[in-house]
Amino acid sequence: MSKKILVLGEVRDGSLRNVSFEAVAAAKAAAQGGEVVGVLVGQSVHSLGNDLIQHGADRVVTVEHVQLAQYTSDGYAQALLAVIQDVNPDGIIFGHTALGKDLAPKLAAKLNSGLISDVTAIEEAGGNIIFTRPIYSGKAFEKKMITDGLMFATIRPNNIAPLEKDESKTGDISSLQADIKDLRSIIKEVVQKASTGVDLSEAKVIVAGGRGVKSKEGFEPLKELAKVLGGAVGASRGACDADYCDYSLQIGQTGKVVTPDLYIACGISGAIQHLAGMSNSKVIVAINKDPEANIFNVADYGIVGDLFEVVPMLTEEFRKLLIKA
């Protein structure tokens, strides 16, 4: 049975995050041939509508307001509730990002709806939509199905492949006026500590360092390797606690959960808390001096050696390969 699915397009620094296109692909699967409606919330976001349509959305609704220039859960919730009332969707899909994890439960409560969070796969079986999500820190997976009411889910970035962009595809982009008022919080200034570059949660390649990097300077070879591979730099909690890097780079149970195509763990022992954040990576390469380190138990490839010798060698070899390519 075809459904109408609403998808939130997440905007950062004036452009759509890749998870927005993954959410559209997830919505296509959940819609079962029905309509996928993209929604953009913010200020001056109307021009981004075509991007959602070319990645699979059938039409887009935008809500623009001066109070939506910066994200607040109150402001975005009011805007989205107005869109939901206007569109009357059968389902809603967000990215399982910092924004999605904050906003989706709030909306679900207001809509008196259930919520399936951190979905890694969507499939159709017997006319029903089955959502797969990890449990117990990724040690097991559960399958869920919504039998009644609104279908509401958030998808983990980098797990559901976006549809191929079709620049010839067109669709309606409409504007909806929403009365944004009585905000309990207002953002006056945003100070970003994270470095610019590839978004860690959406990176296809991640080079991560642990206590074995020994210092802030120890992250420099990792940054160089990540730069050559077009990836991002991450860290274990141990490295963050030791003040080798900022906590915005932390990967693990109390940090970011990532699923890149390639994860290179440098000087990381492999504590269970860290594995919870990266064990579902497609290919894991571990570099550690200790041959008994737990990280080797989850690695596809292991290198026993000094990361300060191995990482520069890898960087040079990758650089040569890329030049030949």
Distance CA 154, CA 134 (A): 13
Mean pLDDT of 244-273: 94
Query: Where do the CATH 3.40.50.620 domains begin and end in the chain?
Result: 4-175
C-alpha to C-alpha distance for 10 and 89, rounded to whole angstroms? 18
Position 251 scores a pLDDT of 96
pLDDT above 60: residue 269? yes
CATH 3.40.50.1220 residue spans of the chain:
200-324
Interval 156-180 mean pLDDT? 94
pLDDT value of position 190: 80
Q: How far is 297 from 272, CA to CA, in rounded Å?
A: 11
Average predicted confidence (pLDDT) for the chain: 93
Beta bridge partners of 144: 131
Q: Which of 97, 27, 83 is nearest to 58 (CA)?
A: 27
- Whether the per-residue pLDDT at 168 is higher than 60: the answer is yes
What pTM was computed for the model?
0.88
Per-residue model confidence as pLDDT tens digits over 47-87: 999 999 999 999 999 999 999 999 999 999 999 999 999 99
Per the CB < 8 A criterion, the answer to whether 270 and 236 are in contact is no
Q: Please state which CATH number belongs to domain 4-175.
A: 3.40.50.620
**DSSP run (H or E) holding 78:** helix 73-87
pLDDT, average across residues 142-159 = 94
Mean pLDDT of 193-216: 87
pLDDT in tens, 16-48: 999 999 999 999 999 999 999 999 999 999 999
| Confidence band for 288, pLDDT divided at 50, 70 and 90 | very high
Q: Which fold has domain 200-324?
A: Rossmann fold (3.40.50)
pLDDT for position 194: 56
At residue 193, the pLDDT reads 66
